[in-house]
Structure 1
Amino acid sequence: MKKIILLIILVVCLAACGANESPVASSEEMQEDAVNAKPQIQEEGPEAILDWVDFIQWDGNYYIALDSAVLADPEKIGEKAGEVAFNVSDNINSTSYKLKNGDAAFWEPGTELYYVEGLPDLLAAKDPAEINGYSLYVNEAKSGGYPQHFKDLKLEEIAKIEIYDLFLYDNFSSPELLNMLEDEQDVQEFLKILKGEHAPQDPELIRNPPDPEIYAAVLHNGEDIARKFHIYKEGKQWLWYPWDREFLPAETGSFIKK
């Protein structure tokens, strides 16, 4: 009987000692351990290649490119804001770099920047390769007021359409105006082509497309900013990308006069 009592006392003592040596961790300690247990990110190998957004940092604001926007009237260009000071994409390959006023993703130092009259959210970069001579940028914080996609346009307000040859493979040429649609019937016929669903004209050309000819259709609704959409001709096939690739019929060519 004494042996049994002594054995029980010994078990109780051992349990108490074990509790003192290994106390239960608090919830705060468990959370801290979990954080410390996370793997640390290590930089290995060469530096990552950064894919820069087309931007300009100016007046403490971050401006992003309005790829589908065209200044309808170049007379709206206001006073000179300044010049690009630093090309980031050619010189920076670190995510820790902090942007400074005058930084641009792709423009070379010395590129002239202008304000746009009546449009305080915009900045214009002088660009002879762009329609009407300027590429447009919008303050990112205000970019929601400038729709860029075809589906967002009010097509009933489109009153004029210009067709340009962009000469994208010739760095020494400015866009050339090929055709201007101002008659309401012509405008509506061209918009009908863009809105329609069309089958490819030659499936073989889709599988093995040649180098495209590239044009631009600029849609005007009477506002200071028109909307530009690229039109491609690959062999006999016309197509464009309002969002995804869409085929266009052969009659598209009748509106593009060279």
Structure 2
Amino acid sequence: MKRIIGLFLCSFLLASCNKTSTIIEWVDFVRINGKKYEATYSEIIAEQTFIGEEIGQVQFKVADEITDVDYKTRNGDATYLEKGTKIYAVKKKPECIAIKDESVINGYRLYRLDSSKNDEFRIDKDSDTAAITKVELYSDDTAPSLLRTLSSKTDIQALITLLKQGEINNDYSPNIAKGDPISYKIIFYGEDPLAHQFPMFFDGEKWYWSPSDTAILPAEIESFVKPK
């Protein structure tokens, strides 16, 4: 009998240890008005004038408290946002909400309905880029700084031409002998409330980016990240 009780207690303690050590890889989400929105990293608000009215506030920061993988999210839940964080609508984009975040270009982080897709936007040899009205290039760090703004059709087209000349190489391995590649962000604007952002990198030897496939870019792209 003592042996059985001992085995039971051992099993109970192991189960308890396993439960308390559960690590959940949370998706960055916000639930409001019965809908779940997930963070999008390829889109930003084009201008703060497109931020609409406040539609609610975060009530509970999930990542700090929940270790149960079966937890059912509730209105006001957010993965990483602090309680009291204000949630805003996005004008003309009912599938999106916005959270004020000074670390994000243009000051707001966007979240999309988890059932919706990012607006289709591509830069490849066959894409139509006529609707692009402005391009910005930023250093990509904890506080991105604006390097260049392209607003003339001539400058925009010159950059896009170089991007379209990128050679697809999904097997490319960056040179990290001297550290991580330097990263940049390219932001494409049109008439839409959302702008589209893509990372670009330089590893000391080659320039490359991965809007979908990884592409090695012409060396001339360097001239666009130098302030004028």
Secondary structure of the structure 1 residue equivalent to 2:160: helix
Q: Is the 8 A contact 2:50 2:90 kept in 1?
A: yes
Secondary structure of the structure 2 residue equivalent to 1:98: coil
Report the equivalent of 1:253: 222
**Paired AA for residue 144 in structure 1:** K
Q: Could you report, residue by residue, the CA deviation over 1:74-112 in whole angstroms, capped at 9, with x for unpaired residues? A: 111122223222222232222210101111122222322
The correspondence for 1:97, drawn from 58, 61, 71, is 71
State the shift of 1:149 in Å: 5.7
Residue 153 to residue 112, structure 1, CA distance change in 2 (3 Å): farther
Distance in 2, Cα, partners of 1:225 & 1:161:
13
Aligned length: 208
Pair 1:122 & 2:96 matched: yes
Secondary structure of the structure 2 residue equivalent to 1:193: helix
Scaled by the length of structure 1, the TM-score of the pair is 0.71
The correspondence for 1:110, drawn from 62, 84, 92, is 84
Secondary structure of the structure 2 residue equivalent to 1:253: helix
State the shift of 1:145 in Å: 6.3
Report the equivalent of 1:147: 120
Pair 1:56 & 2:30 matched: yes
Structure 1 gap segments, 5+ residues each: 1-42
Pair 1:223 & 2:192 matched: yes
Report the equivalent of 1:137: 111
What are the within-5 Å matches in structure 2 for residues 22-101 of structure 1? 46-47=18-19, 48-101=22-75
Pair 1:185 & 2:154 matched: yes
Please, what is the CA RMSD of the aligned residues? Answer: 2.8
Q: Is the 8 A contact 1:239 1:246 kept in 2?
A: yes
State the shift of 1:52 in Å: 1.6
Q: Is the 8 A contact 1:69 1:148 kept in 2?
A: no
RCO (CA 8 Å, sep 6+): is it higher in 1 or 2?
A: 2
**Paired AA for residue 46 in structure 1:** N
Q: Which moved more, 1:110-119 or 1:178-187?
A: 110-119
Residue 49 to residue 130, structure 1, CA distance change in 2 (3 Å): same
State the shift of 1:44 in Å: 9.7
**Paired AA for residue 180 in structure 2:** D
Distance in 1, Cα, partners of 2:173 & 2:31:
45
Secondary structure of the structure 2 residue equivalent to 1:46: helix
Of Structure 1 and Structure 2, which has the larger fraction of its residues in helix?
1
Distance in 2, Cα, partners of 1:50 & 1:70:
27
State the shift of 1:150 in Å: 4.9
Report the equivalent of 1:243: 212
**Paired AA for residue 147 in structure 1:** E
Q: Could you report, residue by residue, the CA deviation over 1:15-51 in whole angstroms, capped at 9, with x for unpaired residues? A: xxxxxxxxxxxxxxxxxxxxxxxxxxxx797244222
Structure 2 gap segments, 5+ residues each: 1-14
Q: Could you report, residue by residue, the CA deviation over 1:145-168 in whole angstroms, capped at 9, with x for unpaired residues? A: 623665696423222211112323
Secondary structure of the structure 1 residue equivalent to 2:157: helix
Distance in 2, Cα, partners of 1:101 & 1:194:
42
State the shift of 1:115 in Å: 1.2
**Paired AA for residue 79 in structure 1:** E
The percent of aligned pairs where both chains have the same amino acid is 34
**Paired AA for residue 63 in structure 1:** Y
Residue 101 to residue 208, structure 1, CA distance change in 2 (3 Å): same
